[in-house]
């Protein structure tokens, strides 16, 4: 048991709870104070007692200050406190095998929504906003002292069968150069995220280490080897120069992501003063990162994986967001990160094929099918020879346009 007498986890805020364990020699007791006391006070107590039993806790006092946390959140916070104290799982607390519909390497990833890993309030409805991918973040949005409880919360969120299912689910772990990132992997893999986002990736060995850790954990959890994908994030000068080897470092790679803010800091770019003329355009142009972004597109494409662009951080400026999506699209990127659900619609619209493109795609497919029926080999459309890749691309355009509202 650690030295501290009182340990806590969670927050006493909406959809969360603050759990505190006070060590003592007295027989274990539980006190619940909840804004939904009448409706769930007893249920919270029962979960707490069950958890204490599972962790073999017989002494001390557990205080729970709740503001409408779901059961999985209550349990995540209790587990965090008990494990911080040094208790280990003794029995029971069944961990059902997570059944998650598989993803595919080349599924659409126009939008990936970042969800802070230690704030359940933002996570509960995250699946409803139509993001192609949800990224539960354990890195930048989680303070150092909260990492431990955040990874437990994210694991339990992912183990839940009811909250997610439409979006692909990913976890952005911490860098692997310190223990934190490895602990993330140990905790998270059993909950079967589709993809792991590896931040500040700078060499092919970063990816190889992650690959090996995943294989190890997959074996331990009885998950098919190689089923969890990797998306390295390039956000340093070193990483940008190593992009080619990083993109090919593992068969698990499905995408190469760009992280603008860190990159710009790393290369010590100094933007013109905000007050100067044309500041807004320059802000959106991200000229300091142009070469790096092009390299990411090139290396990802050459490795057959998706290049995905960084966030646009001004959530009020929807025109700027759309503009930056068009820019990214023109460079060859397949998607953008979003930090607020309200951005999803704009990004999706920018990356989705326009009505004109869809019409053209339909005409190409029709012309091709016509030619098949007639047994003709080659067919021209609009002066262009139609071949199988072109038809496949057209079919993808039609499929994407069908996603609608």
Partner 1 sequence: MEWMNNALGRKIPADIEGKTCAPFQGAFADSREEASTAFPQGARRAIPPRQKPDKRVAGWDALFDRLAIQNGAKISFHHHLRNGDRIVNEVVARLAARGVRDLTIVPTALFPVHDALLPYIREGVITKIEGSMNGAIGAACSRGEIQRTCVLRSHGGRQRAIQEGDISIDVAFIAAPTADPYGNANGLSGPSACGPLGYAKPDSEHAGTVVVITDNLVPYPCAPWSIQGANVDYVLEVESIGDSSKIVSGTTQITRSPTQLRIAQLAARFIEATGLMTDGFSFQAGAGGISLAATVFLAERMRKAGVKASFAHGGATKVLVDLLEEGLLGSIVDLQSFDLDAVHSCAKNARHIESDPYASYGPHSRGCVANMLDIALMGATEVDIDFNVNVVTHSDGVLLHGIGGHSDACASAGCTIITAPSFRKRIPIIREQVTTVTCPGEVIDVLITERGIAVNPKREDLLWKAKKAGLPCKEISQLMREVQAITGVPAAPRFTDRPVALIEWRDGSIIDTVWQLEAE
Residues forming contacts to partner 1 in the complex (CB under 8 A) are: 14-15, 35-43, 67-71, 124-125, 128-129, 161-163, 340-342, 404-405
Q: Could you count the other beta carbons within 10 Å of the beta carbon of residue 404? A: 5
For the CB of residue 314, give the shortest distance to partner 1 in the complex, in Å: 14
CB nearer to partner 1: pick between 134 and 295? 134
SS3 of residue 222 by DSSP? coil
Contact 243, 297 (CB under 8 A): no
Please identify, using beta-carbon distances, which residue of 39 and 269 lies nearer to partner 1.
39
Smallest gap from residue 71 Cβ to partner 1 (A): 6
What contacts 265, CB < 8 A, 6 or more positions away? none
- Residue whose structure tokens are 């006190």: 31
Q: Which residues of 379-397 are buried (b: 16+ CB within 10 A; e: fewer)?
A: bebeeeebeeebbeebeeb
Measured CA to CA in angstroms, residue 36 lies from 16, 25, 30, 104, 287 at distances of: 12, 31, 17, 41, 51
- Of 31 and 128, the one with the shorter C-beta distance to partner 1 is 128
Question: For residues 73 and 54, what is the distance between their CA atoms, to the nearest angstrom?
Answer: 17
List strands edge to edge, sheet with 17-27: 6-9, 17-27, 59-66, 29-34
Minimum CB–partner distance for residue 228 and partner 1 (Å): 26
The single-letter DSSP state of residue 253 is B
Q: Which is nearer to partner 1, 329 or 340 (CB)?
A: 340
Helices (H) and strands (E) counted in the chain, each on its own, are 15, 14
- The residue among 48 and 70 lying less far from partner 1, judged by its C-beta, is 70
Q: Which is nearer to partner 1, 37 or 287 (CB)?
A: 37
Please report how close the Cβ of residue 405 comes to partner 1 at its closest, in angstroms. 7
* List of residues 6+ apart from 221 with CB closer than 8 A: 189, 190, 192
The C-alpha atoms of residue 143 and residue 118 are separated, in whole angstroms, by 9
Contact 139, 150 (CB under 8 A): no
Q: Which two tokens stand for residue 210?
A: 């992650």
Minimum CB distance to partner 1 smaller for 13 or for 237: 13
CB nearer partner 1, residue 85 or residue 338: 338
């Amino acid at each position: 048991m650690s030295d501290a007498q009182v340990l806590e986890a969670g927050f006493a805020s909406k959809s969360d709870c603050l759990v505190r364990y006070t060590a003592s020699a007295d027989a274990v007791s539980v006190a619940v104070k909840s804004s939904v006391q009448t409706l769930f006070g007893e249920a919270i107590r029962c979960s707490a007692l069950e958890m204490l039993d599972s962790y073999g806790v017989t002494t001390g006092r557990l205080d729970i200050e709740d503001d409408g946390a779901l059961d999985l959140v209550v349990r995540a916070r209790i587990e965090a406190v008990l494990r911080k104290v040094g208790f280990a799982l003794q029995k029971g607390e069944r961990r059902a095998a997570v059944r998650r519909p598989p993803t595919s390497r080349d599924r659409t990833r126009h939008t990936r929504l970042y969800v802070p890993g230690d704030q359940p309030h933002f996570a509960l409805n995250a699946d409803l906003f139509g993001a192609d991918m949800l990224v539960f973040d354990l890195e930048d949005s989680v303070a150092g002292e909260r990492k431990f409880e955040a990874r437990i919360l994210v694991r339990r969120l992912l183990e839940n069968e009811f909250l997610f299912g439409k979006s692909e689910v990913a976890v952005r772990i911490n860098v692997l150069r310190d223990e934190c990132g490895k602990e993330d992997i140990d905790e998270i893999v059993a909950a079967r995220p589709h993809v792991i986002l590896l931040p500040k990736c700078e060499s092919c060995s970063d990816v190889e280490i992650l690959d090996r850790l995943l294989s190890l954990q997959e074996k331990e959890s009885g998950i098919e080897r190689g089923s969890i994908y990797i998306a390295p994030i390039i956000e340093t000068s070193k990483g940008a120069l190593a992009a080619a080897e990083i993109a090919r470092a593992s068969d698990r790679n499905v995408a190469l992501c760009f992280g603008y803010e860190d990159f710009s800091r790393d290369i010590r770019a100094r933007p013109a003063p905000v007050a100067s003329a044309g500041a807004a355009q320059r802000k959106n142009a991200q000229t300091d990162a142009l070469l790096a972004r092009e390299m990411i597109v090139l290396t990802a494409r050459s490795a057959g994986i998706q290049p995905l662009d960084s966030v646009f951080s001004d959530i009020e400026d929807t025109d700027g967001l759309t503009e930056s999506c068009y820019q990214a699209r023109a460079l060859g990127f397949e998607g953008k990160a979003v930090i607020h659900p309200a951005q999803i619609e704009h990004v999706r619209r920018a990356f989705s094929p326009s009505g004109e493109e869809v019409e053209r795609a339909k005409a190409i497919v029709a012309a091709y099918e016509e030619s098949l029926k007639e047994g003709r080999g080659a067919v021209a459309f609009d002066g262009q020879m139609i071949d199988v890749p072109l038809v496949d691309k057209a079919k993808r355009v039609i499929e994407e346009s069908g996603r609608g509202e």
